[in-house]
Amino acid sequence: MSTLLILGSSSDVGIACAHRFAKEGFDLILATRNGDEYQRNLAADLSIRYNVHVVSVQFDALATSSHKSFYESLGVKPNVVLSVFGYLGNHEQALSDFTQANLIIASNFVGNVSILGIIANDMESKREGTIICVSSVAGERGRKSNYIYGSSKAGLTAFLSGLRARLAASNVHVATIIPGFIKTKMVELLPETPKPITASAAQVADAIWLANKAKKDVVYVLPIWRLIMFIIRNIPERIFKKTNL
């Protein structure tokens, strides 16, 4: 029996992944800071639909001092860990209000460094396991319109790359998922993104399942984003700084 731990299980992508992995027979540990009625119903639903064991646990990415005891308290240690939590924040506000900027960085970057670091050490000692973490195309180049969030994801992508290289020798796999746009509650208040380059949560879940199964290193969802980001990365700085991206 394999067990998946989802960090940030109330995210739309997290829910889609819960269905995807449970369908393949995975038991689930749903970790969320928001253990409300919805999460309880979700846990019941997943276990009834797919005949798997599902537990809900409390987890806050910002509460780094509790991460060690959080991981130690898990009765069954997961074979696969999926980190999907993330915080877009308010960029405008973050420019003048450091608390907001700090919250963005703490949620996306520091939170992952803390919890994935603990899990990585355990997996390394057992010489098995898979860590999958969702970063973002926003981390590929700092853009005027969201470079605080972008830099937190850039830090995350770099962290994952190093972690992968470190753990390769211990048979532990690290996959970095780099989505472009996803239609989820994170962006529901923003202007609608172009359909052909916007993925559904279910598409992201399929890509994540594949990354797990085929042990992929870096996955762009949708694949066209690899090309888009290649171009964006290669725009010379003197031109890039004049764009409104």
Query: Residues interacting with other proteins, by CB under 8 A?
Result: 37-38, 41-42, 44-45, 48-49
Is residue 61 near ligand NAP by the rule CB under 6 A?
yes
CA distance 197 to 206: 16
Among other proteins, ligand NAP, none, what does residue 48 contact (CB within 5–8 Å per kind)? other proteins
User: Which residue's CB is nearer to other proteins, number 37 or number 237?
Assistant: 37
- Chosen from ligand NAP, other proteins, none, partner binding at 11 (C-beta under 5 to 8 Å by type): ligand NAP
Q: Is 57 in the site for ligand NAP (CB under 6 A)?
A: no
Of 143-202, binders to ligand NAP (CB under 6 A) are 179, 181-182, 184-187
- CA distances (Å), 130 to each of 77, 114, 215, 230, in order? 12, 17, 8, 27
**CA separation for the pair 40, 113 (Å, rounded):** 28
Residues binding ligand NAP: number (CB under 6 A) = 26
Work out whether 84 is an interface residue with ligand NAP (CB under 6 A).
yes
The residues pairing with 134 across neighbouring beta strands, listed in sequence order, are 177
Give the position of tokens 């355990």.
122
Residue type, 193: T
Selection from ligand NAP, other proteins, none that 184 binds (CB < 5 to 8 A by kind) is ligand NAP
Distance from CA of residue 211 to its chain's centroid? Answer: 13
Displacement of CA 169 from its chain's centroid (Å) = 23
Note whether 147 and 158 are within 8 A (CB).
no
User: Which stretches of the chain bind ligand NAP, using CB under 6 A?
Assistant: 8, 10-13, 33-34, 59-62, 84-87, 107, 111, 134, 136, 179, 181-182, 184-187
